[in-house]
Structures are given as C-alpha cells and as structure tokens.
Amino acid sequence: MRFLFYTHSLVSDWNHGNAHFLRGVIRELVGRRHQAIALEPADGWSRSNLLAEKGSYAIERFRKDFPELMPVTYDTGFDHEAWIAEADVVIVHEWTDPQLVARIGRARAGGGNFILLFHDTHHRAVSATEAISALHLEHYDGILAFGEALRESYLRAGWGKRVFTWHEAADDRLFKPHPEIHRTSDLVWIGNWGDDERTAEIREFLIEPVRDLGLQATVHGVRYPNPALADLAAAGLRYEGWIANADVPKAFAAYRVTVHIPRRPYREYLPGIPTIRMFEALACGIPLISAPWSDVEQLFRPGVDFLFAEDGSQMRQHLRAVLADPDFAACLVASGLETIRSRHTCRHRVDELFDVLSHCTNRHTAHTTAAKEAAA
C-alpha cells in the first residue's frame, strides 16, 4: 500500500514530539514493505527553528539516523492533488494549514480513490476549540485521536462520524536499553519548556527535589526562558539544550532515574494521555517517576511500571528510594519494559492503524462507487 502522511515535520523534532511517533510508524510500514512518504511545509515552524539553531547539520543527522524515511517538502506551488492521486491512504496531521486540510478533503469528496484520515495529537480540541471547529473534516473517512478523552471530545462536538483512539508509542527499533553504558549520574529530564503550561510543575517536581537532594542532574530541551535557566542553574541542574531524538536512548542509559511532567491541559482536560516521552523512557529501561496524571485508560501499571508522585514531597521520597535501592530500580525497569514491549510499540500502533483502515474500507468503497456513478 502507498501511505502519504501530511506532517508538521518529519525531519525536525525541535519542540515537536509527534515527529518521534510518525518516524516510528513510517519505519514500521516501510519494514512491512509498504511505501510511506511524509510531506512537510518547507517553512514549518519546527523545521525553521531547528535550522536556525543547528543549521544543515540537523538535516544531515536526520538522513544518517533514518535513511529509510522519505520526507518531501512543499510550498505554495506544490501539486498536492497529483501526490494524493497516487496514494491508498492519506493521513493529515492536525498542525496542517486549515486551507490545505480543506483542499485535501475536497480531493477526497471529488472521487479520490484513497482513505483519508485526520490525526490529532494536541490539546487544541479542548483548549482552542474554535480552531478545530473551523476545520473542514466532513469529507474525512476517520479521525485518529491520541487518547480516548480526545476521541470523546470530537464525538461530542460532532467533528467526525468515525473517531478512533490511536495513542502514541515507542519506536523500539530506536528506543531500547543500552546496558553497555554505565549509569554515571543521577537524574535526567528530557522535555521542552511548554509555553508556561507546566512552569509550576517543573519547579515542584524537578528543580526543588534536585536542589534539596543534591542530585547530579541534567535537562535537555528547548524554549527555556532566561528566568527558568537561572532557576535550573541555581538548583545545580546542567542545561544542555536541544538533543536529537536519536540520541535520547543513550542519554537515558547514563542516568539512574528520569521524571515525567505532563503539561497542565492534558492533566486537566485530557486524562489518559501521557504524551510520547513516557513511552520512550520506559522503552529505554530507565526508572521513571511521574508527576500526577490520570491513567484512566489503564495504559500502564502505576506503582509497578513507574511511580506516581502526588506532590514535591513524594517526588523526593521516590527519588531517594530508587537511587538508594538498585534492586527496586531494576524491578521498575523490567516491568516498564514488559508493558511497552507487550502493548506500546509502533508495531502495535501500525496493527491498530490497519484495524482502523478495515473499518473505513466499506464507507470509503461506497463513496468511491457513488462518485464514479455520478460521473458516468
């Protein structure tokens, strides 16, 4: 089959976690002998920022790390209809320009012989509903929502007749333990600043526990304002900026524990969505302690796969326990790996995608037949 993905970016993971997941999904499709191509805007926000910060080196790194991936950039003169006409499945990400979202939908309604899906991996459906409600999704065969709460939001709003839950997951070809690397430091956090959506949480669950426990700790991520950088430095955290996602597994391997700090909109309005960082950390075999979020979909086994810290005090307690007891840490690692490998890899998500496609086939076939008959 021929898959065409409209992405914000596949090349750039600068403040763009969805690139991680799509890379893994496309690699899995290619591994199964499908053709999968990603289209991205030449002037996309994430790509532009990465190039401004790292230059052409970043593109070279991407090609070296992911030689099987085929990103294609487009601009205002791009012939989208020609590319779409060659596809069996078109998946359009939520960050795609609204006019292009509508244009692709019209191509489908005009008799396009492909299944068309819309993919949402953000909280704008609940935090900026007017932006999503303005999208023209009536010609899309289905919606892929990265959590059940988001799926229900789409259904309540009437934004899609067929809405499927499709969680993110870890690309376990890349995200895996590296036992050959010795754990020489205490704590690493890999996460971006987050538009003030978790400022207080970063302070409570990361900065203050590291300072109070005197840990050797490192932070990777982008968009940290100067006051935040000053807070990190004052607490003894090393800030090392952007890290290529391909380097993350070995970075995790050098530390004894990591933390997960979800953004407030997910915690408050979209329970059950941990974001991809948690899947990737557990896949790498590092003990993880999470700030609060509601695992209403029972994706994991809290207390077995990872630890929940309800507040900063409990974060300190859990950090002490994990760092002081290697056997306890090893149990968390083994359980987390078991859950990821049995439920949450990109292989699992591609299987789920094909289940979605099978549900869309009848509707797709009926629409295509009707369009052909109308043209006759």
Tens of pLDDT, residue by residue over 323-356, are 999 999 999 999 999 999 999 999 999 999 999 9
Residues 131 and 6 grouped into a single domain: yes
Determine the angle formed by the axes of helices 45-54 and 56-65, rounding to 10 degrees.
110
Which is nearest to 288 in space by CA: 298, 279, 299, 276?
279
- Say if 203 falls within a structural domain: yes
pLDDT in tens, 209-239: 999 999 999 999 999 999 999 999 999 999 9
**124 pLDDT band (50/70/90 cuts)?**
confident
Residues 104 and 145 grouped into a single domain: yes
pLDDT in tens, 61-80: 999 999 999 999 999 999 99
Residues 46 and 85 grouped into a single domain: yes
Residues 359 and 314 grouped into a single domain: no
- Say if 51 falls within a structural domain: yes
pLDDT in tens, 164-186: 999 999 999 999 999 999 999 99
- Residue 231: give its domain's CATH number: 3.40.50.2000
Which are the contacts of 218, defined by CB distance < 8 A and separation ≥ 6? Answer: 185, 187, 188, 189, 237, 238, 239, 240, 255
- Say if 177 falls within a structural domain: no
Q: 364 pLDDT exceeds 60?
A: no
- Say if 174 falls within a structural domain: no
| Per-residue pLDDT at 372 | 40
Residues 239 and 160 grouped into a single domain: no
**362 pLDDT band (50/70/90 cuts)?**
low
Q: 195 pLDDT exceeds 50?
A: yes
Q: 371 pLDDT exceeds 80?
A: no
- Which range of residues forms the domain containing residue 42? 2-169+345-375
Total domains in the chain come to: 2
Q: 153 pLDDT exceeds 80?
A: yes
Residues 15 and 161 grouped into a single domain: yes
- Say if 143 falls within a structural domain: yes
Residues 209 and 303 grouped into a single domain: yes
Residues 21 and 126 grouped into a single domain: yes
- Say if 26 falls within a structural domain: yes
Residues 197 and 313 grouped into a single domain: yes
- Say if 270 falls within a structural domain: yes
Distance CA 270, CA 288 (A): 21
- Say if 180 falls within a structural domain: no
pLDDT in tens, 270-315: 999 998 999 999 999 999 999 999 999 999 999 999 999 999 999 9
- For 92, other C-beta atoms within 10 Å of its C-beta total 24
Residues 332 and 215 grouped into a single domain: yes
Q: 14 pLDDT exceeds 70?
A: yes
Residues 257 and 331 grouped into a single domain: yes
Q: 318 pLDDT exceeds 70?
A: yes
Q: What pairs with residue 90 in β-bridges?
A: 4, 116
Residues 65 and 147 grouped into a single domain: yes
Q: 376 pLDDT exceeds 70?
A: no
| Per-residue pLDDT at 370 | 40
Query: Is the entire prediction scored with pTM above 0.75?
Result: yes
Q: 243 pLDDT exceeds 90?
A: yes
pLDDT in tens, 137-149: 999 999 999 999 9
